[in-house]
């Protein structure tokens, strides 16, 4: 998905913890999450939830709402890149155009 305009928030979080020299194991423990969950988010295999964004905010002082906006934009781009889904949207719009 590298051709998308907005990156996954995990990208930014991973860069930040690498810049700060924080091991993922220590961050996961500090946040009360499993290493696997944190690693999946940082490596863009899992989406941020409101709760995980708030935990990252508490641990790294990166605003949760900014992280969630990035996640939303990323999710929208992934959906827009799905041709079958876009066809479905087009069909729904055609039907909606015929309604009174």
Where the chain has pLDDT below 70, the residues are 1-5
Domain 9-98 has CATH 1.10.260.40: yes
70/20 Cα distance (integer angstroms): 21
Domain residue ranges in the chain: 9-98
94/90 Cα distance (integer angstroms): 6
Residue with tokens 């220590």: 26
CA atoms within 13 A on the CB side of 33: 22
Q: What is the pLDDT of residues 15-41, one digit of tens each?
A: 999 999 999 999 999 999 999 999 999
Is the pTM above the cut of 0.75?
yes
Residue 24: the pLDDT is 97
């Amino acid at each position: 998905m590298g051709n998308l305009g907005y990156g996954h928030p995990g990208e930014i979080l991973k860069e930040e913890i690498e810049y700060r020299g924080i091991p993922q194991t220590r961050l996961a423990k500090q946040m009360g999450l499993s290493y696997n969950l944190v690693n999946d988010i940082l490596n863009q295999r899992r989406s941020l939830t409101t709760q995980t964004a708030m935990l990252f905010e508490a641990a790294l002082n990166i605003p949760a709402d900014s992280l969630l906006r990035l996640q939303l934009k990323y999710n929208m781009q992934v959906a827009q890149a799905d041709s079958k889904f876009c066809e479905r949207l087009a069909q729904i719009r055609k039907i909606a155009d015929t309604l009174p």
